[in-house]
Amino acid sequence: MRGLGKYLYQSESIVKLLKRFGFLLMMLFVTAQSFALDAQQRFPKPEFATGYAQPATTSPSPRFLLLEYLDIFVLLAALSVVTWFVLKKRSRKGVFWTSVFSLLYFGFYREGCICSIGAIQNMVLGVVDNTYKIPLTAFVFFLLPLVFSLFFGRTFCAGVCPLGAIQDIIVIKPIELPKWLQKVLGLIPYLYLGLAVLFVATKSEFIICRYDPFVGLFRFDAPFHMMMLGILFLATGLFVARPYCRFFCPYGVLLGWMSRFSSNHMTITPAACIQCKLCANSCPFGAINEPVVETGKRHSNVNRMITYFILLPLWTGIGGLAGSMVHVPLSHYNKTVYLAEQLIEHPELKDDQKNIDIRTFLTSGKTTTQLIAEADAIRHQFYIGGWLLGGFMGFVIGTGLIRLSAFRRRDDWETDKTNCLSCARCMEFCPVKRDEDGKITINER
């Protein structure tokens, strides 16, 4: 009975191995090795006299791969539907209900993971880490909204992104922030994007996921400070519409670049603008531009713009220098650098029995010299990254100044294509309507 049980167990593993490797040699090798392992055990497994049936070690499987592909399908479908609502139906209601669906599916059902914002990091990790293969879902979630944005504007933000949806639903009493404040706060996403890329490129951490304020709300489970951050964002969002999207979202930067040059971006009015100004206060995101005519002398305007163009490399250089100067504090966030610093600055910690990281390092067999060499290499990456990040920020500020100095003649009320989230609120306010047959009517209230 005993022997039979053992034989059965072995033959079962043989069948498994045959299935896996398909040839006998490998199987024999592995079996021999597992016998060798048994021999090393301190207390060999007993031979039971009673008919004891050993329970199996369970291994519950992860979510089916097929469901991952379902996510991709839902993403494509939601993007298509919301784009159709924005551009064809011009229906705020349609956009709203699509965003509710996305909030329920990508937010509460998928619990905020996978998301396009975080997928930036997978793409960067794919660049820097040769052993890392980007999962298909992450790659599609990164690319598809950008492609849609390049043609149709940021419809992803309007009705697909769960982080956007949860904020959009609670826009109760939006106040308009001063323009200068919007511009300054609008620089944060660039910095956030740059930092996120830097931290992934140095293989330090995924800050976008770590500081996602809403994922805890989707899961009803998060550390206290992250829960508070989420609630704080929502509370702010009652008055400052979609604060995360406008002043933090790093993916919004990329979407903005695409949307700026999009060919079929939504328009406030379906036909010619009648200059009624009804839409002026409809946008809670400050993304509607007034008509402008050039003021001042053209010659001095052009001169100012040329000056700013000449100053652009200077801004970039200053930014780069500033960035390189903060590379040391930034590198603290890398585990290896931090450990090396601890060992150098506080050698007494080597005797601290409670410091798990140092204890583990000391027993790992790696020498302190090796660790310091590793940390130095990582810190050098931060130095290069600091130059690039700072230079990028300088460049962003410089081009921002050029844009402020440039007068762009605008005859009608238009959306700011970079910052417009395609939420379709302004369309409701526009009295110009186009019915099913394409007939234009002007609603006179």
Partner 1 sequence: MSTDNLPKKMDRRRLIKNGMQLTLGLSLVSIAGWSAFKSTSDRLVWQLDPFKCVQCGRCAKECVMTPSAVKCVHAFNLCGYCDLCGGYLKPDPNARTTAAENQLCPTAAIKRKYIEDPYFEYEIDEALCIGCAKCVAGCTSFGNGSLHLQVRHDRCKNCNECAIARVCPAEAFQRVPISSPYLIKGGFTKGKNG
User: Where on the chain is the footprint of partner 1 (CB under 8 A)?
Assistant: 30, 33-34, 37, 41-46, 48-50, 52, 54-63, 65, 68, 111, 113-114, 118, 121-123, 126, 132-139, 143, 146-147, 150, 205-206, 209-210, 219, 221-222, 257-258, 260-263, 294, 298, 335, 356-357, 359-361, 363-364
Q: How far is the CB of 348 from partner 1 (least distance, A)?
A: 19
With H, G, I as helix, E, B as strand and everything else as coil, classify residue 188: helix
Taking the CA of residue 225 as centre, how many other CA atoms within 13 Å lie in the half-sphere pointing to its CB? 2
Q: How far is the CB of 139 from partner 1 (least distance, A)?
A: 5
Q: How far is the CB of 98 from partner 1 (least distance, A)?
A: 24
Question: Is the Cβ of residue 31 or residue 182 nearer to partner 1 in the bound state?
Answer: 31
Question: Is the Cβ of residue 102 or residue 122 nearer to partner 1 in the bound state?
Answer: 122
* Residue reference for tokens 């006998």: 24
Q: How many residues does the chain have?
A: 445
Q: How far is the CB of 319 from partner 1 (least distance, A)?
A: 23
Question: Is the Cβ of residue 206 or residue 383 nearer to partner 1 in the bound state?
Answer: 206
Question: Is the Cβ of residue 63 or residue 225 nearer to partner 1 in the bound state?
Answer: 63
Give the closest residue to 209 by CA, choosing from 171, 251, 238: 251
Q: How far is the CB of 372 from partner 1 (least distance, A)?
A: 17
In DSSP terms, which residues pair with 442 in a beta bridge?
Answer: 432
Question: Is the Cβ of residue 67 or residue 184 nearer to partner 1 in the bound state?
Answer: 67
Q: Is 420 left (phi over 0), alpha (psi -120 to 50) or beta?
A: beta
Contacts of 203 (CB under 8 A, 6+ apart): 125, 128, 129, 334, 378
d(CA 96, CA 306): 44
Q: How far is the CB of 278 from partner 1 (least distance, A)?
A: 26
Question: Is the Cβ of residue 41 or residue 300 nearer to partner 1 in the bound state?
Answer: 41
Kindly tell me the burial class for residue 441, based on how many C-beta atoms sit within 10 Å of its own C-beta (0-12, 13-18, 19 or more). Answer: exposed
Residue 289 main-chain phi, psi, to 5 deg: -95, 140
In the structure encoding, which two tokens stand for residue 267, read together? 């328009």
In the chain, how long is the greatest CA-to-CA distance?
A: 103
Q: How far is the CB of 134 from partner 1 (least distance, A)?
A: 4
Contact 255, 117 (CB under 8 A): no
Q: How far is the CB of 313 from partner 1 (least distance, A)?
A: 21
d(CA 204, CA 332): 10
Question: Is the Cβ of residue 339 or residue 393 nearer to partner 1 in the bound state?
Answer: 339
Question: Is the Cβ of residue 135 or residue 400 nearer to partner 1 in the bound state?
Answer: 135
Residue 434 main-chain phi, psi, to 5 deg: -120, 125
What is the DSSP-derived secondary structure letter of residue 410? B
d(CA 235, CA 244): 12
